[in-house]
């Protein structure tokens, strides 16, 4: 059985695009051609597609998630995995110990008894090193038969379920990948399994068939090597931007490199618009987010707060040519602490679809005007300053 292909050391001297060049080819050789992409922004549509993929699987089902909910959504997927394992299909699940802290132990027992192999990522226990407590698996990956994959921002929980079924219908972005890039998602899953269990298993099935025309780069950061690989890809894309940058992000606390890249893009005349939640599920994070507004607004970056249910998307579109969808938040948890995965796509149809959804979302958003921002109450300023000082932990 072949040994795992572990992540290599990043190429620190990789060519950077010239500012405003519109050149997104600095890592072109790392994009896999021949994929078909489908965008989902509502949990009801995504969960139905994921369930169908699991039902159709014949060789392997690999599911990795941050939150495995103790709710109808979690129970539905637990039963699907158990059914598939009982049918003799190798089925594996990775869930994060902290993100899934409310997971019903009976669901885990149901799956284990059916033959599902389960990895609980970094259990928080007194005998484990303290650094591991803060290192979480924030990825959301499903791969079936090594040929069909899903990744994005949605967890398996009721927050993404439709309101008519008791959910909160959080808007998000998730992508179905059919083609060779699905195999790369599967490789990331197998790397985590190997590192935590020291047991390697090969990929399922043969080489994935060409299913479309999209070029996709599957980008996963790791605990040490390639820690900054997603951030660097974002910086390069922002540097190359000529006309427009659109960002939708649920926890927007960018580090200095991203802030600088956004300011420089706006200074070049690029239209830079950022969409963030107006109501956050973590109030302290919202104050820390707003602490970054001033340095961006004063340099021409436009910021909009979504007025509907919690916006949970993590998506970027540059010049309607390059786009990114995944689990990566523009915050320090994703930058320094979590395992994350993104799809970086050179795909105009997907970029245009994301742009259209972004424009429609702006209709339900409120723009933060610089003059009004400067007149905000001193109580808000104090909260922003206080929580902003803890940005390393957010």
How far is residue 93's CA from residue 64's CA, in Å, rounded to a whole number? 6
H or E, element range at 297: helix 293-297
Last residue of a domain, one of 149, 184, 210: 210
How far is residue 381's CA from residue 8's CA, in Å, rounded to a whole number? 43
pLDDT confidence of residue 129: 62
In a domain, 15, yes or no: no
Which of 219, 195, 220 is closest to 132 using CA atoms? 195
In a domain, 325, yes or no: yes
In a domain, 32, yes or no: no
* Residue 154, Cβ density class (10 Å: 0-12 exposed, 13-18 middle, ≥19 buried): buried
In a domain, 347, yes or no: yes
Last residue of a domain, one of 156, 179, 210: 210
Q: Which CATH number characterizes residue 223's domain? A: 3.30.870.10
Q: pLDDT tens digits for 121-135? A: 998 776 666 556 788
Are 182 and 232 found together in one domain?
no
Are 206 and 237 found together in one domain?
no
Model confidence at 19, in pLDDT bands (50, 70, 90)?
Answer: confident
In a domain, 17, yes or no: no
Here the tokens at position 77 are: 């997927």
In a domain, 62, yes or no: yes
Name the percent of the chain lying above pLDDT 90: 71
Last residue of a domain, one of 190, 210, 230: 210
In a domain, 181, yes or no: yes
Are 150 and 253 found together in one domain?
no
More confident residue, 19 or 201: 19
Residue 9 has pLDDT above 50, yes or no: no
In a domain, 295, yes or no: yes
Other beta carbons within 10 Å of 341: 24
Residues with Cβ < 8 Å from 216, sequence gap 6 or more?
Answer: 31, 32, 35, 37, 177, 179, 181, 343, 344, 345, 346, 347
Q: pLDDT tens digits for 287-320? A: 888 889 999 999 999 999 999 999 999 999 999 9
Are 289 and 196 found together in one domain?
no
The DSSP string of 55-105 is HH-SS-EEEEES-B-SSHHHHHHHHHHHHHHHTT--EEEEEETTTTTT--H
Residue 55 has pLDDT above 60, yes or no: yes
Are 52 and 192 found together in one domain?
yes
Are 154 and 227 found together in one domain?
no
Residue 8 has pLDDT above 60, yes or no: no
Task: Check if the beta carbon of residue 137 is closer than 8 Å to that of residue 339.
Answer: yes
Residue 12 has pLDDT above 50, yes or no: no
Structural domain count, the chain = 2
Are 128 and 224 found together in one domain?
no
Are 147 and 279 found together in one domain?
no
Residues with Cβ < 8 Å from 310, sequence gap 6 or more?
Answer: 159, 168, 170, 250, 277, 279, 280, 281
Q: pLDDT tens digits for 259-286? A: 999 999 999 999 999 999 998 877 888 8
Structural domain boundaries enclosing 164:
37-210
Are 195 and 223 found together in one domain?
no
Residue 247 has pLDDT above 90, yes or no: yes
Phi, psi for 215 (deg, rounded to 5): -95, 125
Are 94 and 201 found together in one domain?
yes
Are 206 and 307 found together in one domain?
no
Are 361 and 341 found together in one domain?
yes
How far is residue 339's CA from residue 188's CA, in Å, rounded to a whole number? 10
Of 55-59, 84-88, 129-133, 386-390, which range is least confident?
Answer: 129-133
Model confidence at 379, in pLDDT bands (50, 70, 90)?
Answer: confident
Here the tokens at position 260 are: 């600088």
For the chain, give the mean pLDDT: 90
């Amino acid at each position: 059985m072949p040994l795992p292909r572990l992540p290599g050391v990043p190429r620190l001297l990789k060519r950077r695009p010239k500012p405003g060049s519109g050149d997104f080819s600095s890592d072109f050789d790392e994009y896999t051609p021949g994929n078909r992409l489908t965008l989902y922004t509502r949990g009801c549509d995504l969960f139905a597609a994921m369930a169908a993929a699991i039902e159709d699987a014949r060789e392997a089902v690999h599911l990795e998630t941050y939150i495995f909910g103790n709710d109808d959504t979690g129970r539905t997927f637990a039963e699907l995995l158990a059914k598939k394992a009982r049918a003799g299909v190798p089925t594996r699940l990775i869930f994060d110990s902290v993100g899934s802290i409310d997971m019903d132990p009976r669901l885990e027992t149901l799956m284990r008894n059916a033959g599902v192999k389960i990895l609980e990522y970094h259990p928080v226990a007194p005998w484990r090193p303290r650094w591991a407590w803060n290192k979480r698996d924030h990825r959301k990956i499903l791969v079936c038969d090594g040929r069909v994959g899903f990744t994005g921002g949605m967890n398996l929980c009721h927050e993404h379920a439709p309101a008519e079924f008791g959910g909160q219908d959080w808007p998000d972005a998730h992508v179905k990948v059919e083609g060779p890039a699905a195999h790369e998602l599967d490789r990331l899953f197998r790397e985590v399994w190997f590192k935590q269990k020291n047991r390697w298993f090969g990929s399922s099935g043969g080489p994935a068939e060409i299913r479309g025309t999209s070029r996709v780069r599957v980008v996963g950061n790791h605990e040490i090597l390639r820690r900054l690989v997603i951030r660097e890809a974002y910086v390069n894309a922002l540097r190359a931007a000529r006309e427009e940058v659109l960002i939708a992000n649920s926890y927007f606390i960018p580090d200095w490199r991203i802030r600088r890249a956004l300011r420089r893009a706006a200074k070049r005349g690029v239209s830079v618009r950022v969409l963030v939640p107006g109501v956050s599920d973590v109030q302290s994070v919202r104050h820390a987010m707003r602490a970054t507004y001033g340095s961006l607004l004063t340099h021409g970056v436009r910021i909009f707060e979504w007025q509907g249910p919690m916006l949970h998307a993590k998506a970027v579109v540059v010049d309607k040519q390059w786009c990114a969808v995944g689990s990566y938040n523009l915050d320090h948890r994703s930058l320094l602490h979590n395992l994350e995965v993104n799809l970086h796509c050179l795909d105009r149809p997907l970029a245009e679809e994301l742009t259209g959804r972004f424009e429609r979302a702006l209709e339900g958003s409120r723009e933060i005007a610089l003059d009004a921002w400067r007149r905000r109450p001193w109580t808000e300023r104090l909260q922003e300053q206080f929580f902003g000082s803890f940005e390393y932990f957010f």
